C-alpha cells in the first residue's frame, strides 16, 4: 500500500477505523481486515475497544512491526496528572510498548494547549509514541500546536468527505508538512446514494464509495480511514489503487461541498470551525 510521509511518519494511505465498533465486532472483523491487506489501524481511548484492537493484532499473524497503529488521548486525560498514565494504560490494552501515532482527540480549553502539547512531546520522548499529532483542530489551533511542539506534528485527523470543504485545513497542513487524515469519508451513509459519485464510479467500474476513497487519497498528503463490519467490503475498500480520477472528476466531487456539510460537531468539544474557502 502507498504511504504518506509526514515528518518521517510513513502513514499507509488507507486505514481501518474502529469508531463506534464494539469489542466483539473488532475481534471479528479486524483480523480479517489485516488478512485482506490493511496495515493502518485507528482507535482511541474513548472508543473503549483498545483491548480488542490489541488482541486482534496480536492474534492476527501479522507482525506488530508491519502495522501502523494510532490511538488518541481523550480530553479528560490532558492534565499533567493523567496524560502519561492514560497513554501507559492504552499501551497495556493494545499489547504493545508504543503506538506509531498518538493524537490529541479534540481541543480542550480547560487545559492550556502548551501543557497538552508538552505532555504529548514527553510521552514521545519516552518512546511510547513514534509520532504525534492532533485531531479535530481548526487551522488556527494547528498553527498554535505546531508552534508549541518541540517535535513535528504528523497529522490532523478531521472529518472530510465530498460535502465538506476542508481547503483551509488542507492548506494549514501543507504549510506545516503535515498529513490530513480523513474520517467520516462516507458522510454517514450519504456517499453511496450520491448520483454524481455513482456516475463517476460507473465510468471506472467502481462503486461510489471507492470513488470517494480514491478522491481522498488522490489529493496530496491525504490519508483516508475506512470502517466496515462486513467482510465482503474489505477487499472493495482496498481496491482503490488501480484507477485514477480525471481532473474534471476530481473537480466535480469537490463541487459537492455545501455550507451545511459538516456532520460531526459535538457541543463542548468542537472548536470554531474554519469557514469554507
Was domain 3-188+221-229 assigned CATH 3.20.20.100? Answer: yes
Mean pLDDT in residue range 19-41: 98
- Phi, psi of 118, deg, nearest 5: -60, -45
Cβ contacts of 135 within 8 Å, gap of 6 or more: 72, 103, 104, 105, 106, 156, 157, 158, 181
- Judge whether 201 and 213 are in contact, CB under 8 Å: no
Per-residue confidence band for 277, with pLDDT thresholds at 50, 70 and 90 = low
**Rounded Cα–Cα distance for residues 235 and 228 (Å):** 11
Mean pLDDT in residue range 22-43: 98
Catalytic residue numbers, as ranges? 47
**Rounded Cα–Cα distance for residues 227 and 244 (Å):** 22
Q: Is 236 helix (H, G, I), strand (E, B) or coil?
A: helix
Q: What value, to the nearest 5°, has the Cα angle with vertex 78 and ends 74 and 83?
A: 90
Per-residue confidence (pLDDT) for residue 21, from 0 to 100? 98
- Judge whether 249 and 200 are in contact, CB under 8 Å: yes
Q: Is 212 helix (H, G, I), strand (E, B) or coil?
A: helix
Per-residue confidence band for 195, with pLDDT thresholds at 50, 70 and 90 = very high
Per-residue confidence band for 276, with pLDDT thresholds at 50, 70 and 90 = confident
Amino acid at each position: 500500500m502507498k504511504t504518506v510521509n509526514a515528518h518521517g511518519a510513513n502513514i499507509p494511505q488507507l486505514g481501518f477505523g474502529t469508531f463506534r465498533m464494539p469489542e466483539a465486532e473488532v475481534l471479528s472483523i479486524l483480523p480479517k481486515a489485516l488478512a485482506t491487506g490493511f496495515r493502518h489501524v485507528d482507535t482511541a481511548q474513548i472508543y473503549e475497544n483498545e483491548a480488542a484492537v490489541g488482541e486482534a493484532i496480536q492474534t492476527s499473524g501479522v507482525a506488530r512491526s508491519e502495522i501502523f497503529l494510532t490511538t488518541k488521548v481523550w480530553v479528560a486525560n490532558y492534565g499533567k496528572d493523567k496524560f502519561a498514565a492514560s497513554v501507559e494504560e492504552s499501551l497495556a490494552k493494545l499489547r504493545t510498548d508504543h503506538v506509531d501515532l498518538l493524537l490529541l482527540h479534540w481541543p480542550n480549553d480547560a487545559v492550556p494547549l502548551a501543557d497538552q502539547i508538552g505532555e504529548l512531546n514527553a510521552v514521545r520522548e519516552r518512546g511510547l509514541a513514534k509520532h504525534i499529532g492532533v485531531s479535530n483542530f481548526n487551522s488556527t489551533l494547528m498553527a498554535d500546536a505546531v508552534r508549541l511542539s518541540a517535535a513535528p506534528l504528523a497529522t490532523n485527523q478531521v472529518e472530510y468527505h465530498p460535502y465538506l470543504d476542508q481547503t483551509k485545513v488542507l492548506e494549514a497542513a501543507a504549510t506545516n508538512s503535515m498529513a490530513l487524515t480523513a474520517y467520516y469519508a462516507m458522510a454517514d451513509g450519504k456517499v453511496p446514494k450520491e448520483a454524481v459519485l455513482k456516475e463517476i464510479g460507473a465510468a471506472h467500474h467502481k462503486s461510489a464509495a471507492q470513488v470517494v476513497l480514491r478522491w481522498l487519497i488522490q489529493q496530496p498528503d491525504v490519508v483516508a480511514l475506512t470502517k466496515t463490519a462486513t467482510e465482503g467490503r474489505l477487499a472493495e475498500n482496498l481496491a482503490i489503487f488501480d484507477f485514477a480520477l480525471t481532473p474534471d472528476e476530481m473537480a466535480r466531487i469537490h463541487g459537492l461541498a455545501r455550507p451545511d456539510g459538516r456532520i460531526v460537531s459535538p457541543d463542548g468539544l468542537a472548536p470554531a470551525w474554519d469557514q469554507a474557502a
